[in-house]
Structure 1
C-alpha cells in the first residue's frame, strides 16, 4: 500500500492507543476509520502496529507531570496525611509558578513534585519538619529545585510591592473588589481539591 498506507495505519493505531488510555469502552476498528480514509485496516493489522508503537516508546505512553507524583510525595513528607484544600491550592500555584520560567525544565517531574511538597509543608511546620529521603530520587537535585522555588517566591514578592502612590491605590482597589467576591477563592479551592483527588497515587510510576 506504500508510504501513504503505512502513515494512515500509524495514525489509526495511535488513535486506538489514545482511546484505550482514555475511554472505558474501546471503539470498534471501523469506527475510527470513517473520515477520508483511503484504506480500511483489519483489527489484527492495527494491533500489530499498536505493538510496534508501544515497543518503540518502551511502553511509556502516559503523560508524566509533577501532578502525577504530588499526592505520593506530600503523604511521604506529611506523616501519610492528605493535604487540606488550602495546601492543595498552594501546591498547584507553586507548580504553575515554576512553569513560567525555563529553569525548571532541567528537573524531572518527580523532583519538582518532591521540592514543591517540601516547600508547602515547610510553610506550616518550619521548626519541626525534616524532609523524607525517598528512593529513586536524587535529593541534591530536589534541594536545588527547592532553591529555585524560593528564588521565584522572593522575586514575586519584590515585584508585588507597590513602587508609587498610584500603585498603592491600585492594590487597595483590587483588595476592595476581592472582598466583594468571597465565593471565588472557595470555588477555586474546591476545583483544586477535585483535581488533586484525581491524582491520588500511593505508589508513583517510574520516576525517570
Structure 2
C-alpha cells in the first residue's frame, strides 16, 4: 500500500537517525505543547492511508501498487520493528503483567477514536507499546507509569502520522484520566521510548502489504477500497489480542486479506500463494485459522447465553470487531461477552482450501 523508503527515496522528508527527530530545541516548550515535529513531516509506511481521516473515513488515496522488489525489501525489514521474540509467551505465561498492555491499549483506543486519528497511528501506538514493554518491564503498582507510557506512545505515533495534533493536555483529558502529566514529563518519556526503540519509529506495518495481497489473492485484479477498509479494521482488531503478537506484519496483512476476500469468493490457496513466494504459507494459514477460531468461539458463546440481543453479525469481521474483544491472559478466548446472536451465517461461509 505504501512505498518503501529505499524504493521511493524522493518522498523521504526525515531520517530515523536524525538526532533532532523530535524537533526540540532548548526552551522550546511551546512547540512541544503543540505536539509538533517542527518543520519535519514524516512519511512512514502506510502513508497512502492519508492523514487524520479516522478509522472509517475516506482515508484512501489512489497510488500504484508497490513493486515486488519493494515488497521484498519491506519483508526483510519487518523483523526490525517487532517486539522481542519471547514477549507474547511471557504475557501468556503471566511472567509479564498483561493488564498493563490491556489498560494502555484501552486508553489509546478511546483517545484515538475521540480525535478521529487514522488507522496507521493506532497501529504504531500499539507497536511502540509492545516493543517497549518487551524490553522494559514496568514495576507492579505503578499505574501512573502505564498511563505516561500510553500518552508517550500515542503522542509519538500521532506526530509521525497525523496532521492535526492536539495539545498534550487535551490528549490526556479524554475519558476519566487518573493522571495528568506536564509536557516536559511526557517529553522525557517520549525520549525514553525513542532510545529504547533505537529511534526506529517508521515501522513496517500490515498496511504496507494489505492492498498488495488483496491484489495477488484476487487473480491480479485491483483491490477495491472497501476491501482495504475492511482489512484495515480487521488488522486493528487483531493487534489488540496477545495471540496475534507472534505473527509478522506481512502475515497479519495476508491473513486479513484472505478473511475479507473469502466473504466474496472462494480462494484456492495453492494458486494464491504461488504468486507470493515471500510468504510462509503455513504461518499465514495459522493466522487465518486463528481468526476463524475466535469467530467460532464468539458465536459459541452466544448459543450458551439465555439473553441474546437482536444484533446479528453479518460477517466474521463484524464478530471480531464486537466490543467484547478481550486481551487478557486468563481467558481461554479473546471473546468474553456472550451478548450476540447465534444466527450468524458462519456455517454457510466458504472455507479456504489448502
TM-score by length of 2: 0.31
Q: Which structure carries more relative contact order (alpha carbon 8 Å, separation 6+)?
A: 1
Bigger helix fraction: 1
